[in-house]
Amino acid sequence: MSVDFSKNAKERPEPHNAEVIGSIPDWLQGTLVRNGPGIFSVGETSYDHWCDGMSFMNSFSIKNGKVTHRSRFLRSDTYNSNMTSNRIVVSEMGTMAYPDPSKNFIFKAITFLNHTVPDFTDNAASNIIKYGNDYYATSETNYIRKIDPFTLETLDKVDYMKFLPVNLVSSHPHYDREGSVYNVGTSIAEKAKTKYIFFKIPAVTEKDISFQSNDVCKLFMFNMVTLKYTTATAVKQKEGRLECKAEVLCEGFELPRINYDFNGKKHQFIYGNIVEESENCWPSEPVFVPRPNGESEDDGVLLIAVINCIPGQSGFLLILDGKTFKEVARAYVNTELHRDMHGFFIPHAK
């Protein structure tokens, strides 16, 4: 399986009807909005890290068994500046940009060293979050961009620093049933002086490293974990310290999600991606949508945007049964989908 994740996306802002195969449950009504990098080169310049790409949003609106799709680039200040200049002029996490490429090396070095607390990018390409009744595209800087989740139009720019003393904010807030939002951020002092630490790592000694091999020492350990079917251990050490080793639940498990109705509660199921070379498809992060008045934690469906790795072939929205993982339906959107990061499902009243 081969797919180019650094190819610039093409937006399709007008709604297009998808070709639905299968039967979408009557109770599933709402819009899935997904966000991730979509532009990786501007003019002759390109980003040095995939996560730096400019925000590209996709929406899948599900109503009465039908699906409509649209996509837009986030019209951030970063997007507008880069496009106007026809080059990358706003720095990102892994890409240092210089507004004037004609300047010499010394000017660029001074510009870099002076970026102690820069004005961060508003290229909100990581997630979609909700505050009150409003929805925002977010990354992990102090800027978020309000959007219309149904048309994907870019609206107001919001600066966290006007409300909270934070420079960097997580793009993964938590919500409680009362609508309160919980998040974590960091604060960098604006007037602090820049200091640099230079250090040298000496070469290893010229003498050869050697050791004397002995028989393995036998040691009795009492494992305090008594659960069956687990490899986790907890061994009390001589000084009274308890050494714990966790069990690895799964190898290569990415983008985990749960039934969010069970957030902060005991839960059993986690949904994520294990990519295998099959069917030339690349799945996105799964989003669990619980059935209204469902009787169990896994009573619902998973919504997964799937990239078709064959050039020119349509991507699709895959709907899986949360209990059996059997395919319920898929909706071909008649355009290529691109690798993204995270998404948010907005339920509609039926």
Bridge pairing between strands 45-46 and 41-42: antiparallel
Is residue 49 a known part of a binding site? no
Residue 113, φ and ψ in degrees, nearest 5: -70, -25
93 close to 37: Cβ distance less than 8 angstroms: no
What residues form DSSP beta bridges with 214?
Answer: none
Report in angstroms the alpha-carbon separations of 77 from 54, 81, 82, 92. 11, 6, 9, 13
Distance CA 69, CA 13 (A): 9
Distance CA 48, CA 188 (A): 25
Q: Among 138, 125, 148, 145, which Cα is nearest to 173's? A: 138
**Residue 11 carries which side chain, given as an amino acid letter?**
E
Distance CA 233, CA 349 (A): 48
Q: Among 169, 174, 173, which Cα is nearest to 142's? A: 169
Distance CA 257, CA 289 (A): 11
| Coil, helix or strand at residue 260 | helix
Distance CA 291, CA 131 (A): 24
Report in angstroms the alpha-carbon separations of 117 from 43, 110, 121, 145. 28, 14, 12, 21
292 close to 259: Cβ distance less than 8 angstroms: no
Known binding site: residues?
172
Known binding site for Fe cation: residues?
172
